[in-house]
């Protein structure tokens, strides 16, 4: 059971990483990040259950809250970028390229 | 035990399939719907792991809140005609290789790890979670509250309209 949960989380993390690396749309990249953070939550809850340690639950709760913050700020930045550049395509956002 | 293992396998397949939908869907709006399915499936995994409170939080905050604001952002920034627009960049092979390498590394470590034999542990309860948050973890909890307020005010400030 523990190994199965950890493998599911590892798979979800890898899929999220793939999304972050390959999506062109900035919102799509944020969706990939969501998957990666969600995979971490599965790990935390699985370890909490199989070790009887409540700290895993507490950390999962904190991770969920921080993910919500991350999405709110990330999407605000995406909206500002769209307003300025009229695109959210990450390939075209090269303002900082030297 | 067998029923739990079966449930884990089923939910795992559902969650991983929906995750693939998130990263492969051509229409970003469909990707968000796949993400909602992934998050609800994860809540199911939490129930299977006896974390009912976290499952409820997951559905409320993630599947309710996060999905809603992502949909709003897509509607504000996409023209929603982009079905045929290529959604992946040139690095798709490199990205797939990287993700596969990370998965193989993680899975190899998980499968090779030897767990010390732990005696059957007492069942965790939501009451224990509440006590831990307000005693041992109270400092982190309060800092998280400050972070939440600061970040949401910051997001509001960033996305405001120029007057």
Distance to chain B for A50, nearest Cα, Å: 7
3-class DSSP state for residue B85? coil
User: Residue B87: what pLDDT?
Assistant: 63
Contacts 24+ apart (CB under 8 A), B143-149: B144/A62, B144/A65, B144/A66, B147/A66, B147/A69, B148/A65, B148/A69
Token duo for residue A83: 């307003």
For the domain spanning A2-90, the CATH number is 1.10.287.3510
pLDDT given for residue A94 in this prediction: 76
Please tell me whether residue B126 adopts helix, strand or coil conformation: helix
For A20-74, how does the pLDDT look when each residue is reduced to its tens digit (9 = 90+)? 998 888 888 999 999 999 999 999 999 888 888 888 999 999 999 999 899 989 9
Instruction: Assess contact for B44 and A5: CB atoms under 8 A.
Output: no
> Domain ranges in chain A?
2-90
Kindly list the residues from chain A whose CB atom is less than 8 angstroms away from the CB atom of residue B160: none
Interface of B with A in 55-74 (CB under 8 A): 57-58, 61-62, 65-66, 69-70, 72-74
What pLDDT, on a 0 to 100 scale, did the predictor assign at position A53?
A: 84
The confidence score (pLDDT) of residue A17 equals 94
What's this model's pTM, rounded to 2 decimal places?
A: 0.89
| pLDDT less than 50: residues of chain B | none
């Amino acid at each position: 059971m523990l190994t199965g949960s950890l493998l599911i989380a590892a798979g979800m993390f890898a899929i999220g990483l793939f999304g972050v690396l390959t999506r062109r749309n900035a919102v799509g990249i944020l969706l990939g990040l969501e998957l990666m953070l969600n995979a971490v939550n599965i790990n935390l809850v699985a370890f909490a259950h199989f070790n009887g340690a409540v700290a895993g639950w507490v950390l999962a709760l904190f991770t969920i809250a921080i993910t919500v913050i991350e999405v709110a700020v990330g999407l605000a930045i995406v909206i500002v970028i769209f307003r300025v550049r009229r695109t959210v395509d990450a390939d075209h956002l090269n303002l900082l390229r030297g | 035990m067998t029923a739990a293992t079966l449930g884990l396998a089923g939910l795992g397949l559902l969650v991983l399939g929906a995750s693939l939908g998130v990263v492969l869907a051509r229409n970003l709006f469909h990707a968000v719907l796949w993400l909602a399915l992934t998050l609800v499936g994860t809540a199911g995994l939490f129930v299977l792991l006896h974390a009912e409170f976290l499952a409820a939080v997951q559905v409320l905050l993630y599947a309710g809140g996060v999905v809603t604001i992502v949909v709003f952002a897509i509607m504000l920034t996409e023209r929603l005609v982009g079905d045929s627009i290529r959604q992946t960049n040139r690095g798709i092979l490199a990205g797939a290789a990287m993700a596969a390498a990370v998965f193989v590394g993680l899975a190899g470590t998980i499968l090779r790890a030897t767990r010390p034999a732990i005696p059957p542990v007492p069942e965790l309860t939501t009451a224990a979670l509440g006590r831990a948050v307000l005693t041992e973890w109270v400092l982190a909890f309060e800092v998280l509250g400050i972070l939440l307020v600061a970040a949401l005010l910051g997001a509001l400030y960033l996305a405001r309209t120029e007057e």
